[in-house]
Amino acid sequence: MPLSAPVPRKHLHTRRYEFCGYEREDGLWDIEGHITDTKTYGFANEFRGEIQPGDPIHDMWVRLTLDDTLTVTDIEVTSDAGPYRICPDIVPNFQVMKGERIKPGWHLRLKELLGGVRGCTHIVEMMGSMGTVAYQTMYWRRKRSTGEKSPPPINTCHAFAADGEVVKRFWPDYYRGE
């Protein structure tokens, strides 16, 4: 169901995220993220000159390579467009994520290692969502191919409440309702 009709307004900014998950031939997994920010109007930029409507202000990419334990074995980051000349200079800092594991606390760990002046707000925010994309990419494929019996995602969202109907139906051993 779409949102209700808004009051009259003027579109000024668009942020787009795109995420893709891949199973690699070597047994690893690639999770890729792309962010673009555009404006509907042109403006002068000291570093880049005139930015035209629709030109990206931010155009950034991340590829996380993961093993089956959701551990980052490699990371590639690019900053193809940013508002300042120095924006791409931070890209090498993201190598600190090698060896980190996507697990509860992933967002906090990203901010701990790459928050503030140690990283790029836009890339760090995008990487937070990439953790969920990794789970979505790997979960059913790994479960089917290995017969893995991982615990269900109890209490990770409203639908998976331990006392709710979804858990009662699909994971009755974990159900904690009346």
Q: Is the pLDDT of residue 159 over 90?
A: no
For residue 137, what pLDDT is reported?
94
Does 4 fall in a domain? Answer: no
Does 5 fall in a domain? Answer: no
Does 162 fall in a domain? Answer: yes
Reported pTM: 0.85
For residue 140, what pLDDT is reported?
73
Does 24 fall in a domain? Answer: yes
Does 7 fall in a domain? Answer: no
Whether 78 and 135 map to the same domain: the answer is: yes
Does 8 fall in a domain? Answer: no
Does 27 fall in a domain? Answer: yes
User: Which residue range is the domain that position 64 belongs to?
Assistant: 13-147
pLDDT digits (tens, 9 = 90+) for 13-53: 999 999 999 999 999 999 999 999 999 999 999 999 999 99
pLDDT digits (tens, 9 = 90+) for 46-93: 999 999 999 999 999 999 999 999 999 999 999 999 999 999 999 999
Whether 140 and 166 map to the same domain: the answer is: no
Q: Spell 127-147 as b/e; 16+ CB within 10 A means b.
A: bbebbebbbebbeeeeeeeee
Q: Is the pLDDT of residue 153 over 90?
A: no
Which of 176, 152, 156 lies closest to 164, judged by CA?
A: 176
Whether 56 and 115 map to the same domain: the answer is: yes
pLDDT digits (tens, 9 = 90+) for 107-144: 999 999 999 999 999 999 999 999 999 999 998 766 55
Whether 115 and 92 map to the same domain: the answer is: yes
Whether 62 and 128 map to the same domain: the answer is: yes
Whether 116 and 162 map to the same domain: the answer is: no
Look over the chain and give the mean of its residue pLDDT values, rounded to a whole number: 92
CB neighbours (10 Å) of residue 70?
A: 18
Who's near 40: CB < 8 A, 6+ residues apart?
10, 11, 12, 13, 14, 53, 54
Q: Is the pLDDT of residue 12 over 70?
A: yes
